[in-house]
Structure 1
Amino acid sequence: MAIIIIIPVLSITTGLLTAMATAEATCYKPRERHGQCRHDPYRLPSVLFGTKTTYRHATGLHTKWASRARVPGCRPLLLMIFMRHTTRFPGKKDLKKFGERLPELQNMILNASRAGSGTLCRQHVNSLRKWKYNWDESMENRVTSSGIRETGEIASRFRRMFPGLLPSRFYQDEYVVRATSKNRTRDTAYAFLKAVLYRKELKKFKRERALVVDDDMLAFQSTCEDKLEKQGVNKTESQEETKFLDSAMVQEMMQAMSRRLGVNVSTDDVRLMAKMCAFEVALRGWSPFCYLFDKEDLDLLEYAEDLDDYEEDAYGNERSVALGCLLVEEMVDKIREKLRTSLTGGASFHTHLRAALYFTHAAVMKSLVAKLGLGRAAPPLRASNYCRYRTHRPWRSSRLVPFTANFALVLFQCGSSQLTVLPILNERTVWLPGCRSVFCPLEDFLRSSVVQSSRNCDPEKICSKDWNGRGRPE
């Protein structure tokens, strides 16, 4: 009898696994247009493009308004913000590729349409026909006017939430402001402060050269890569991303794109057009290249980038996660500066520090998010589980690290002596590991794995080729 019972169970299990595998391979279904536009032909198929997503599209926040953060019985003492630079123009390599290849693809697609090939609708062909490439290398990585405006809106909202921590007058002992040596982070810092300080106070800030450049802390990913390269360790491409791009689903998408455009396009061509779509949406709100895609196509390409981010800069890279200790250590140090006595002692203060502002890059923000234990996927993101994570996944760079992404930690005094921290990611409170709620008693935060694993932070050891992932070289 036991055998009779077991065999059907195994058969059912095998059948279920087969069905799941089939579903995994077929959750992408290309939509054939047959020359017909949607009811709303100029609606963007997607606004989520990984790290090239605008903050407004990632969060839905696009005004200066925010309500004051009120915690009964508590008052805010210190605000620390780590912020990615705001929306920028493409880098030098992308500008070169755009200028060389996109006009060629534009002509190929338009010629195919005239010859009756492809299935693009008339409105989308007309939009592509009017497109002209007018960017040059002088625009390389420059922040955009829309990004400056968006940064100002974020600063205004934080000021409304915590008015006493972002004063309009600048004093060296009340503000700490650091950025990297790249213009885009410094310009973002100035845009933030412009929305907070009086005009004459911003001039004073610049005159006193109060912005400190700190690449060791805020550009540690590139610094570490340089050190490893000198030791003969070169950065490798994401294996999961490569597997995914070679998968049957992505190849089916490539065939659907070629039919739709009327020309055979390579994976590099498709990714280049999608990247231009992302940048133009970020810079001006729309792009004719977006209309060449369906939402399902862009979802696949977004997932490919998430695989790369997850594997290279987050949970798939122990070294990257470990380097986040630099930022956690900085948070603890600033809390220490604020308190006169021991970290877990009384709430007596010896500095006037109110705000510590740090402006950095996407790779560092990804490392910080992972170090904080946020966005961890179980099972991990893999090339084989797109269908599982297609609509909802813990790690989605579009939501976690868009342009102007930010993580804030606010220190509160509650009652006469209780100290509490409140973590905020992209203006939404988050629950950190080791904390009982989003409002985390300082002693719990200091005992958490996030802080304990950041003690004795040593980037020199972490960036040694012999580092074993446990905090010391072999």
Structure 2
Amino acid sequence: MLFNKIYFFLLIITINGIHLYKEEIIRAHHTYDKYQFNILHHLSGIAPYFESNTDELNPDPPEGCKVDKTAYLIRHGSVYVDDYDYDYIINPFLKRLNKAVKYVDFSKLPKLSFLNKWTSPITNPKQQIERLTKSGIFEALELGMKLSYRYEKLLPKANQTSFNIWTSSSKRTKQSALAIIQGLFSGRKLNGKVIDIPEDKKRGANTLTPTKSCQKYNASKGSQEANIWLQHYSKSILKKFNSKIFNWNFIPNDILAMQQLCGYETVIRGYSPFCSLFTTEEWMSFEYYFDIKYYHEIFYGNYLSPYLGMPWVKATTDLLSNDILNNQNMYLTVTHREMLPVILAALGLYNESEYSNEKVFPLDEINHERIWRASKVIPFLGRVALERLNCSSSHSNELFIRILVNSSVKPIPGCTQGPGESCHLNQFINYINKRYHSYKDFTEVCQIKKTNHSIDHLTFYNKKH
């Protein structure tokens, strides 16, 4: 009954074209009426899901090809707030604001006048921190429905009674997985099973949360560089705000908190007055802050990243290349934001290694030519997909691999000779094997005490459940 209500609600949204979020668009003068800046597309890891196909490659299967096997790594849906963001950035601002509204008149600067009566969307932190929002559940359900249309022939037959979806053990990832299953089968009776992979340090490489099992990983890496940039870009904003407001001084972390609240409040309430406070350049500076942070923490700026992502990449390559190993044609896995960048690093995508870190991310100006933009990779429900294409020719059928990041085709470096710039399966296997040879030593680089022979591998996909 609950599913029918959710499904009906989603159907009504789709039919009537109702959006869950208010559009937050900055437009130029009418002489440049083509210019549009969507703030919600520049919020890094707290952006509602969106698609950005800047390369304009067609995500549909190329002519003469069909997808006969696929594997998805999916980030969970939108949450009320992340624990670190709330504890160290947002809550300190809220505490200061709650005291200030008693004696500060924010209407002296009209843009800030709403602060006199504004209330936080995070009303019960103990229950809401890291919990899915309503929109997060609906969007995960919608994702399942979209996948059911794209991969209709890969779904289990009517006489098959089970379908596994893998997830890390957090409540938000499991709830997202359950909603995806409901959308995937659209009310059809099927024993969809969520396989819970514990998020503990003893898992080694056999995990969906390698940042927790790798002892060398440090979540604060990149914070120093990002905070240098925050001090730089917030100066002009602080001068603008503090020149009009008396008995109160905004500080750099307040600016970061208000920009984060734009994202979190939007996925909770559908709209946030904080979004209209800042200019295009100020939003790009906010986005750049997290690009710096994540580049150094979980991407090429951290030498650990390809090692952390390689176990999943190698296991998934084996699934796509060997039909004997498995009995599903669609592998869906739901986990956290950190997993997507380390997978992309293991795959060698978005690689800016020909530049020094300082040149890629200078801390006194934005590098507008950079390749890495976290907003386009890790929004809520962001995903990396590997599709196996079965393509027919006049002589035979051949298999190819294609990678999609949030439905945008990302060609594999040096292997784009296949249909739709895909990579021949054998060449892809060779490509991954070479990278695996370079990044296979998870145990050694993470300084884990080796207790069994399989700790460097991810094995749970092949385990019978």
Contact 1:152 1:194 in 2 (8 A): yes
Partner of 2:72: 81
State the Cα deviation string for residues 71-116 of structure 1 (Å, max 9, x = none).
Answer: 33333221110101111121345445645641532663684436x7
Decide which moves more: 399-408 or 238-247.
Answer: 238-247
1:142 corresponding residue in structure 2:
131
Aligned to 1:445: 428
1:460 and 2:460 aligned: no
CA-to-aligned-CA distance 1:155-206 (integer Å, 9 cap, x gap): 2222222221134758477x4421101111111111111111253635x224
Is residue 243–residue 383 contact of structure 1 (8 Å, CA) maintained in 2?
no
Give the letter for the 1:104 counterpart: R
Q: What is the SS of the residue equivalent to 2:334?
A: strand
CA contact (8 A) 1:434 1:445 kept: no
In structure 1, the residue matched to 2:19 is none
Judging changes above 3 Å, is the alpha-carbon distance between structure 1 residues 77 and 190 closer, same or farther for their aligned structure 2 residues? same
Q: Which residue of 1 aligns with 2:389?
A: 412
1:185 to 143, 166, 173: 173
Larger radius of gyration: 1
Q: Which residue of 2 aligns with 1:305?
A: 290
Q: Give secondary structure in 1 for the equivalent of 2:175.
A: helix
Hey, what does 1:71 align to over in structure 2? 62
Among candidates 192, 212, 216, match of residue 205 of structure 1: 192
Report the Cα offset of residue 405 of structure 1: 0.6
Hey, what's the Cα distance between the residues in 2 that align with 1:293 and 1:110?
A: 25
Separation of aligned partners in 2, 1:68 and 1:270: 38
- Structure 1 Cα separation of the partners of residues 348 and 406 of structure 2: 15
Work out which of the residue numbers 435, 439, 457 in structure 1 matches 2:415.
435
What is the rounded CA distance, in whole Å, between the counterparts of 1:311 and 1:94 in structure 2?
18
Task: Give CA deviations for 1:21-66 in whole Å, capped at 9, x if unaligned.
Answer: xxxxxxxxxxxxxxxxxxxxxx98555211001103x549xxxxxx
Distance 1:369 1:169, change over 3 A: farther
CA contact (8 A) 1:327 1:368 kept: yes
Distance 1:100 1:243 in 2: 20
> Equivalent residue for 2:238?
254
Match of 2:96 among 82, 100, 104: 104
What letter matches 1:374 in structure 2?
L
Amino acid at match of 2:174: R
For 2:371 and 2:38, the matched residues in 1 are separated by 24
Cα drift, residue 367 of structure 1: 0.9
Provide the secondary structure at the position in 1 that maps to 2:402: strand
**Corresponding residue of 2:33:** none
2:387 aligned counterpart, secondary structure: strand
Q: Which residue of 2 aligns with 1:425?
A: 405
Contact 1:69 1:162 in 2 (8 A): no
Q: Is contact 2:59-2:408 (8 Å) kept?
A: no
1:311 CA drift (Å) = 0.9
Structure 1 residue 366, shift from structure 2 partner: 1.3
Query: Partner of 1:324: helix, strand, or coil?
Result: helix
Residues of 1 paired with 2:266 and 2:100: CA distance?
23
1:269 to partner: Cα distance: 1.9
- The aligned length equals 390
Moved more, 304-313 or 160-169: 160-169
Using the TM superposition, name which of 392-401 and 256-265 deviates more: 256-265
Equivalent positions of 1:364-383 (< 5 A) are 364-377=339-352, 379=355, 380=357, 381-383=360-362
1:102 maps to a residue whose letter is: L
Give the CA deviation at 1:282: 2.2
Task: Report if aligned partners of 2:141, 2:180 keep a CA contact under 8 Å in 1.
Answer: yes
Deviation of 1:317 after TM superposition, in Å, equals 0.5
Whether the 8 Å contact between 1:47 and 1:281 is mirrored in structure 2 is no
Mapped to 1, the partners of 2:238 and 2:350 lie a distance apart of 30
1:277 to 237, 246, 262: 262
Corresponding residue number in structure 1 for 2:228: 243
Residue in 1 that maps onto 2:203: none
Offset, 1:424: 1.0
1:387 pairs with one of 353, 366, 375: 366
Residues in 1 aligned to 2:298 and 2:39: alpha-carbon distance in whole angstroms: 28
* Residue in 1 that maps onto 2:10: none
Note the 1:314-393 alignment, pairs <5 A: 314-338=299-323, 340=324, 352-377=327-352, 379=355, 380=357, 381-384=360-363, 386-389=365-368, 392-393=369-370
242 and 178 in structure 1: CA distance in 2 versus 1, 3 angstrom threshold: same
Instruction: Report the TM-score, using the length of structure 1 for normalisation.
Output: 0.73
- How far apart in 2 are the matches of 1:411 and 1:205? 23
Tell whether the 8 Å contact from 2:41 to 2:376 is kept in structure 1 after alignment. no
SS of equivalent residue, structure 2 residue 207 = helix
Matched letter for residue 131 of structure 2: R
The separation in 2 between residues aligned to 1:269 and 1:127, in whole angstroms, is 13
- Percent of pairs with identical residues: 22
Task: Write the mapping of 1:284-303 to structure 2, written as runs, cut at 5 A.
Answer: 284-303=269-288
Identify the range of structure 1 (126-135 vs 283-292) with the bigger mean alpha-carbon deviation: 126-135
Could you tell me how far 1:307 is from its partner in structure 2?
0.2
Q: 1:157 maps to what in 2?
A: 146
CA distance in 2, matches of 1:47, 1:132: 23
Q: Could you tell me which amino acid in structure 2 is paired with residue 81 of structure 1? A: Y
In structure 2, runs of 5+ residues without a counterpart are: 1-36, 200-205, 450-455, 457-465
Question: Are the counterparts in 2 of residues 44 and 291 from structure 1 also a CA contact under 8 Å?
Answer: no
Seen in structure 2, the aligned counterparts of structure 1 residues 148 and 382 have a Cα distance that, compared at 3 Å, is same
Deviation readout 1:283-324 (Å, 9 max, x if unpaired): 222212333333322321221111010111101001112221
- Partners of 1:413 and 1:420 within 8 A in 2: yes
Describe the shift of the 1:238–1:162 C-alpha distance in structure 2 as closer, same or farther (beyond 3 A): same
Task: Label 1:261 to 1:328 Cα distance change in 2 as closer, same or farther (>3 A).
Answer: farther
